[in-house]
């Protein structure tokens, strides 16, 4: 597959670590992308461009999604909705549970963070099973906002994430697919 120069730059910086955090998993580490200023800017531009004019806020998913959302905010001019792991936000929240391999976790937003009907582009580093992304979609819709789309640096093919999002009618863009 031919990559755009931006995708090739990001691709060249992703580290693949076998058997982390557990045997059989290949961990895709984007910290080298975040550490490279031009690559982080190129990533932020590539993830927001397909949705230009169609979102009011970036939805950043704690923790790695925050790094992309901050950069995307500066290149697009849109503010960031903080979608946090449970127990971190100090005011009234909406909470959405999601399944991990052997447990559950929850994402939360401040219930009154954005005006009703706000269009939120969710961004993250990796799409795997889609459990995290779908929890964010549910949360945003329950709060009375609209999901403008889901934009991710790296989609792991074959784990069902894209299918889950598209079944919910969520436009999904990935810069890279492994």
Ligand X SMILES: O=P(O)(O)OC[C@H]1O[C@H](OP(=O)(O)OP(=O)(O)O)[C@H](O)[C@@H]1O
Tell whether residue 27 is a contact of ligand ADE (CB under 6 A). yes
Q: Do β-strands 79-85 and 57-61 pair in parallel, antiparallel, or remain unpaired?
A: parallel
Minimum distance, C-beta of residue 126 to ligand ADE, in the bound complex (Å): 4
Per the annotation, the verdict on 171 as an active-site residue is: no
| Interface with ligand X (CB under 6 A) | 61-65, 124-133, 161
Minimum distance, C-beta of residue 44 to ligand ADE, in the bound complex (Å): 19
CA 173 to CA 94: how far, in whole Å? 26
Closest listed residue to residue 96, CA positions, set 163, 142, 129: 142
Tell whether residue 85 is a contact of ligand ADE (CB under 6 A). no
CA 27 to CA 109: how far, in whole Å? 27
Closest listed residue to residue 59, CA positions, set 176, 178, 170: 170
Q: Which residues make Cβ contacts (< 8 Å) with residue 135, sequence separation at least 6?
A: 96, 97, 98, 106, 107
Q: Which residue is nearest to ligand ADE (CB)?
A: 128
Minimum distance, C-beta of residue 148 to ligand ADE, in the bound complex (Å): 23
Residue length of the chain: 178
Residue in 28, 64, 84, 119 annotated catalytic? 64
Per the annotation, the verdict on 101 as an active-site residue is: yes
User: For ligand ADE, which residue of 58, 71, 78, 126 counts as binding (CB under 6 A)?
Assistant: 126
Tell whether residue 25 is a contact of ligand ADE (CB under 6 A). yes
CA 151 to CA 101: how far, in whole Å? 23
Minimum distance, C-beta of residue 35 to ligand ADE, in the bound complex (Å): 16
For ligand ADE, the binding residues in 41-60 under the rule CB under 6 A are none
Active site residues: 64, 101
Q: Which positions touch ligand ADE (CB under 6 A)?
A: 25-28, 126, 128, 156
């Amino acid at each position: 597959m031919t990559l755009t120069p931006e995708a090739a730059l990001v691709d060249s910086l992703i580290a693949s670590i076998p058997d982390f955090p557990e045997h059989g998993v290949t961990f895709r580490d984007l910290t080298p992308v975040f550490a490279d200023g031009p690559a982080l800017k190129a990533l932020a531009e590539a993830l927001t461009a397909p949705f230009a004019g169609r979102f009011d806020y970036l939805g950043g998913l704690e923790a790695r999604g925050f790094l992309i959302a901050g950069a995307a905010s500066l290149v697009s001019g849109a503010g960031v909705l903080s979608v946090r792991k449970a127990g971190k936000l100090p005011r009234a929240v909406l909470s959405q549970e999601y399944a991990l391999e052997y447990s559950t976790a929850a994402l939360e937003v401040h219930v009154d963070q954005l005006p009703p009907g706000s269009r939120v582009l969710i961004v993250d580093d990796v799409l795997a099973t889609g459990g995290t992304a779908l929890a964010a979609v549910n949360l945003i819709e329950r709060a009375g906002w609209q999901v403008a789309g889901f934009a991710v640096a790296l989609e792991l093919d074959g784990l069902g994430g894209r299918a889950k999002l598209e079944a919910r009618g969520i436009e999904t863009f990935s810069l890279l697919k492994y």
